[in-house]
Chains A and B, each alone.
Chain A
Amino acid sequence: MTNKEKYKRAFSALHASENISLEVDKDMKNKRVFNKKIMAVCTCCLAMFGVGATVYAHNYQIINKIFGWGNNLEITQEVDENGETSSISILHTDNLTEPVKIDDEKIYFVVNDEKIDITDKISETTAFEYEYTDDEGNTHIWLVGLNSDNIDDYGYAEYIKNIDGDWTGGYSARVNIESDGKTNAEWLENAKSEKTIQW
């Protein structure tokens, strides 16, 4: 038997859920329609904090919007009828430019017209950190690190703290998130732990 035949047999054990459908369940209408619109219009990824997905079944009020990297990261802070707050982070991936560049075996962090050589500043355990405060007083923390000893195998993240000093959201890229919610990137987990970022 060839490798292809063996591989196909092994992976034929996988089957999609029978629940995959374009039909909108009436009870889930609010949530699903929201998700569909976001996914169809923005081609983005959706991240939620705090209250979670059920927030869309309740009345809520938008209390703040914060934009991150090149306006691709959109964080919406909301409060629901019970006074509970939550944040939704949406990363619009259309026209997304990475803030990290590899050039001539060196790795650079490129943001706000700066190109910083970070080759000797990052490792699998240590992140390069870049911080700036936007016009509205939000602090943006950038983290860049290596997932292996290969310079091409980098990852990065952006987290935003509002003017009151509360972490409001962010995202990480080029790292795998394990089933426990933590990433497999030691540099990132170390930095998040140090900064008490809970996600």
Chain B
Amino acid sequence: MRMKIEILMKKYKDNLFATAFNICKSSADADDAVQNTFIQYYTTDKQFENEQHIRAWLLRVVINKAKNINISFWRRKSVPLEDYIESLVFKTPEEKNLFKEVMKLPEKYRIVIHLFYYEDYSVKEIAQILNLTESNIKVRLNRGRKLLKKSLREEWIDDDE
């Protein structure tokens, strides 16, 4: 099955952006990754099982696009991360603090944390999206959690389920 790209863009644009930003730490690069992901969807003839399959595929593609941007020489000029964070609207100082501390995590922990806590994927599903083993994902998730607990203290609950 296929879904209209206009519907997918409306529904998943911000999610893909958040995932790409999590890797690139740059809004301009994240926008490029998202745009190129939708172009790839638009130009591929691939058929999907259902909407969740499309969602996982889009996330996998945007992660690869964002990683490719990270390893390329050419990156769009963008405002420093600190300045960009200051331009975002957070409802509470705790939300801003959480955002900042997540962005300080090493990339390999950050993306796993993001897919788990933002996209609600299970360890098994994250392993499939990132093409890694479940045990590897568990290690990264736990290490990321520990670092967040250390920096956020009582603002982060122990939830090593």
Taking Cβ atoms with an 8 Å cutoff, the residues of A that contact B are 2-4, 6-11, 13-17, 19-22, 35-36, 39-40, 43-49, 89, 91, 93, 169-177, 179, 181, 199
Taking Cβ atoms with an 8 Å cutoff, the residues of B that contact A are 5, 9, 13-14, 16-18, 21, 25-27, 30-31, 34-36, 38-40, 42-43, 64-65, 68-75, 78, 80-81, 88-91, 94-96, 98-99, 102, 107, 113-114, 117-118, 120, 155-157, 159
Beyond A8-B117, A14-B88, A40-B43, 8 additional contacts (C-beta under 8 Å) are A2-B157, A3-B117, A11-B102, A14-B17, A20-B13, A36-B43, A43-B40, A177-B70
In angstroms, Cα B75 to Cα A179, docked, is 8
Chain A nearest CB from B86 CB (Å) reads: 11
On whether A6 and B95 interact (CB within 8 A), knowing A91-B68, A176-B107, the answer reads yes
- Write out the residue numbers on chain B whose beta carbons fall within 8 Å of the beta carbon of A20: 9, 13, 31, 34-35, 38
Chain B facing A: main interface SS: helix
Contact of A48 among B36, B68, B73 (CB under 8 A): B73
Q: Is A6 within 8 A of B88, CB to CB?
A: no
- Write out the residue numbers on chain A whose beta carbons fall within 8 Å of the beta carbon of B107: 176
On whether A10 and B71 interact (CB within 8 A), knowing A2-B157, A3-B157, A39-B40, the answer reads no
Q: What 7 A-B pairs come out closest when comparing CB atoms?
A: A45-B68, A16-B17, A47-B73, A7-B117, A10-B95, A45-B72, A13-B88
In angstroms, Cα B48 to Cα A8, docked, is 27
Chain B nearest CB from A198 CB (Å) reads: 10
In angstroms, Cα B68 to Cα A169, docked, is 16
- Write out the residue numbers on chain A whose beta carbons fall within 8 Å of the beta carbon of B14: 14-16
Residue of A nearest to B96 (CB): A10
Residue of A nearest to B12 (CB): A16
Residue of A nearest to B87 (CB): A13
Q: Is B95 within 8 A of A13, CB to CB?
A: yes
Q: Is B68 within 8 A of A11, CB to CB?
A: no
- Write out the residue numbers on chain A whose beta carbons fall within 8 Å of the beta carbon of B91: 9
Contact of B73 among A21, A39, A49, A179 (CB under 8 A): A49
In angstroms, Cα B108 to Cα A174, docked, is 11
- Write out the residue numbers on chain B whose beta carbons fall within 8 Å of the beta carbon of A44: 68
- Write out the residue numbers on chain A whose beta carbons fall within 8 Å of the beta carbon of B95: 6, 9-10, 13
In angstroms, Cα B114 to Cα A9, docked, is 12
Q: Is A93 within 8 A of B68, CB to CB?
A: yes
Q: Is B118 within 8 A of A8, CB to CB?
A: yes
In angstroms, Cα B67 to Cα A44, docked, is 11
